[in-house]
Amino acid sequence: MRAAPVPELMLEPAFDPNRDAGSGRDSLGLGRVAGQGLDVRHGTILTLEDISVSFDGFKALRDLNLYIGVGELRCIIGPNGAGKTTLMDVITGKTRPDTGKAWFGETLDLTRLSEVEIAQAGIGRKFQKPTVFEALSVFENLELAQKTDKSVWASLRAKLTGEQKDRIDEVLAVIRLDASRNRPAGLLSHGQKQFLEIGMLLMQDPQLLLLDEPVAGMTDAETEFTAELFKSLAGQHSLMVVEHDMGFVGSIADHVTVLHQGHVLAEGSLADVQANEQVIEVYLGR
């Protein structure tokens, strides 16, 4: 059994309220929730401008521009090597861009924050392979994921408040694991582990969720529920979904971004990008 990494204690985000709103950041839809403490006055929660990243001379991202609106559900598609993983790495602080700007809301410069600070600021990331604490119950996994200033084991020993219990119950209902609340996470199906990890992210109240191939390995029923779940979360949260399953993408996305060789090749509805001649040539292979 592979042990899941113990989450680090989060640091306070480095807000800079004195920074003026930059140019070139247009309003791209208004979500219902602005996010606690996050300045989204222009309706854009994520702004990437002229982002370039190189690895030993290889250009993983090239002058990439991307804008995600508050409450938006955006799908990112593209062939292997298009730069999708590097894009997520830049947003979460794992990789620093060589050039360009990355803003969360209007005031948080992601290039100046650590991975921990970015997570605390409200960006949650789910990798393709679920990582849960398999020896702990579903309920305990969600309990552990709550924002806290306690250590891991102190968190498990501490008595939950009524509000904390209600929040866990709410998330259990959202991810449809209420009946499995006392079940060890290691006994869950692959899809259920995916749902649990999404629930663990939700316990941290993220404003932007980054989801990497969330339906890989799922059954048809699990994939259908994932689509319902994401659509229900949009508006309350902003979601950026990297996915290869075009059927799934078509079922959830109003707006799709196509990456190719590290830059944005096309954007629009799935029907629009599928009809784009450049996309057909480099991505669909027709």
Residue 222 pLDDT > 90: yes
Least reliable range by pLDDT among 124-133, 217-226, 258-267: 124-133
Is residue 64 a part of any domain in this protein?
Answer: yes
The CATH number of residue 115's host domain is 3.40.50.300
pLDDT tens, 34-51? 345 788 988 999 999 999
Domain interval for residue 256: 10-121+240-286
pLDDT single digits (tens) 3-36? 333 333 322 333 233 333 333 333 333 233 334 5
Q: Which residue has the higher pLDDT, 212 or 37?
A: 212
> Is residue 157 domain-resident?
no
**Rounded percentage of the chain residues whose pLDDT exceeds 90:** 73
Inside any domain, residue 126: no
Establish if 131 belongs to a structural domain: no
pLDDT given for residue 86 in this prediction: 97
> Domain for residue 272, yes or no?
yes
Residue 136 has pLDDT above 80, yes or no: yes
- 42 part of a folded domain: yes
pLDDT in the model for residue 32: 31
Give this prediction's pTM: 0.83
Q: How many residues does the chain have?
A: 286
Q: Quote the CA–CA distance of 230 and 278 in Å, as a whole number.
A: 29
Say what the pLDDT of residue 19 is.
33
* Tens digit of each residue's pLDDT (9 = 90 or more) over 62-108: 999 999 999 999 999 999 899 999 999 999 999 999 999 999 999 99
Task: Look at residues 110, 140, 143 and name the one whose alpha carbon lies nearest to residue 125.
Answer: 110
Tell me the average pLDDT across 132-136: 94
Provide the domain count of the chain: 1
Q: What is the pLDDT of residue 282?
A: 80
Q: Is residue 30 part of a domain?
A: yes
pLDDT at position 254 is 84
pLDDT given at position 35: 42
Q: Is the pLDDT of residue 170 over 60?
A: yes
Written as six digits, the tokens of 284 are: 């669909």
At residue 283, the pLDDT reads: 65
Is there a domain that residue 40 lies in? yes
Q: Which DSSP category does 281 fall into?
A: I
Q: Which residue has the higher pLDDT, 236 or 157?
A: 236
Residue of 77, 76, 95, 78 lying closest to 86 (CA atoms)? 95
What confidence score (pLDDT) does residue 185 get? 98
Fill in the DSSP letter of residue 180: G
Mean per-residue pLDDT over the chain, rounded: 85
Label residue 133 by pLDDT band (50, 70, 90): very high
Instruction: State how far the Cα of 40 lies from the Cα of 132, in Å rounded to an integer.
Output: 32
